Amino acid sequence: MAIAVDGKCPFCPAAQTVYLESPRWVLLRHLDPVPIAGWMMVATREHRSGLDALSPEEAAEVGPILAAIAESVRAVTGAERTYGITFNEAVRHLHLHVIPRHADDSSTTSWALADRYRATARREIPPAAADDAERAARAVADHARAKLRALGFAAPATK
């Protein structure tokens, strides 16, 4: 199932890799450059301006989805814990970031993570290796698939 297409939305193009999908949600990895392998995003299929704009069905699902993805990110990356954030300022399509926080990497702590994100985007520090980011994303999806099956998630159909 394709994401609703909007030519100006980076979450809508068919070229975006979807790792898991349900009737209302998709699991993506952070777009390149990826600041940290395992940085995942859960996005609504429909354009929603924020959490307060979710349909009743989406609102009922968002917590269990984020819990399953956070657990999978921790399991795959060995992170101490995860952060969950959403801003939806630059892209007004609800997408929730699930980010690994590593105890031995101070650049993944609290607000230092924002500095790392910006420095990666400006190419001042190297992004995660493309193979590592892809491998982590696929492993997170594999780990989360069974937990999310009850919410209608499955691997996307091959094209």
Domains and CATH numbers, the chain: 20-151 (3.30.428.10)
- In terms of Cα–Cα distance, which of 1, 150, 145 is closest to 76? 145
The residue ranges of DSSP E strands in the chain, in sequence order, are 20-21, 25-29, 40-44, 81-85, 95-101
> What pLDDT is attached to residue 1?
32
Residue 50 reports pLDDT greater than 70 = yes
Which amino acid, 151? L
Q: Of 93 and 26, which is predicted with more confidence?
A: 26
In angstroms, the CA 44 to CA 68 distance is 16
Under the banding of pLDDT at 50, 70 and 90, the label for residue 40 is: very high
Cα–chain center distance at 156: 16
Residue 2 reports pLDDT greater than 60 = no
